[in-house]
Amino acid sequence: MGLDSELVQAIAAQGKADGACPTAVNGLMLYRSGSVSARMPAVYEPSICVIAQGRKRIFYGEHTCSYDQHNYLISSLTLPVDVQVVDATEDRPYLGLSLAVDRDLVGQLLQEMEALGSLPSGGAAAPIISATVVTERLQQSLVQLLGTLADPVDRQVLGPVLQRQIYYEVLKGPYGYLLRNCVTSHAGANRIAPVVHFIEAHFHESLDIDSISRFAGMSASSLHEHFKQVTSMSPMQFVKNLRLHRARAMLLGGNQASDTSYRVGYSSPSQFSREFKRLFGELPRDVQARPAP
């Protein structure tokens, strides 16, 4: 059996329900869809995304990125996007996985690689999402990581070792600098990365362009230019999108719509409802009433 088939079987064995499925491995999510989908808003966190079967398209700003079982996606920063499954049937469903980036582990690997003179180069101003070819070693490590789900001891002992192998294989690849850019303390990291992390930590507060610019150490116009170049949106558009996505997750988790608007940084519930419906096509109270997937 080829590694492609092994990866398909390993994901399919975890269940036949459509949607996202958390696993017992921290940061590892599995995905299934038995049909193609319309474009839907989502937030991509720093992660490595692999498709075992099917095809997906990512839209952000004027950029489009497609990937399938032959290539994997690296997302180096949190980014609001639109996603669309473009190849899936019930007989041959879309099957994929994502592994969140462990910044501490990636940082350790970078220190070791730097000591050996083998750091990934380039990319300080590169796009924050790119796809590249899946290697046999990466596939093999992913299959082995999924195999640990059946045994708690394997998961505890081998899981961290296999995750380390996966990150190392990505760092060695042509877009290894994207994974490096997740570690914002590294000198080669994209200068916008710390700004995104600042917004993530403070989105629920009264953020404005002046406070974000002060943190970034840039003028408002310079920040706007550099931030939009990297993320395809302005800093305040990013803040709004992140607030709305975090709000949707809270609503699906059982939070009340009125309370959620304040908790994600809105001072006006009516403005929150308008902007939420504009992005998601439904009111917050409709999401609140629906069971979480």
| Three-class HEC string of 231-276 | HCCCHHHHHHHHHHHHHHHHHHCCCCHHHHHHHCCCCCHHHHHHHH
pLDDT confidence of residue 124: 52
Domains in the chain, please, with CATH?
Answer: 3-180 (2.60.120), 193-288 (1.10.10.60)
What are 139-149's pLDDT values in tens digits? 999 999 999 99
Specify the DSSP class assigned to residue 135: P
Specify the DSSP class assigned to residue 277: H
What are 79-131's pLDDT values in tens digits? 999 999 999 999 999 999 999 999 999 999 999 998 988 877 665 556 778 89
DSSP per-residue letters across 1-70: --HHHHHHHHHHTT-S-SEEEE-SSTTEEEEEESS----EEEEEPSEEEEEEESEEEEEETTEEEEEETT
Of 226, 221, 224, which Cα lies nearest the Cα of 235? 224
How confident is residue 290, by pLDDT bands cut at 50, 70 and 90? low
What are 4-21's pLDDT values in tens digits? 789 999 999 988 889 999
Of 285, 233, 256, 263, which Cα lies nearest the Cα of 41? 233
How far is Cα 247 from Cα 185, in angstroms, rounded to an integer? Answer: 29
pTM of the predicted model, to two decimals? 0.86
Specify the DSSP class assigned to residue 45: P
pLDDT confidence of residue 22: 92
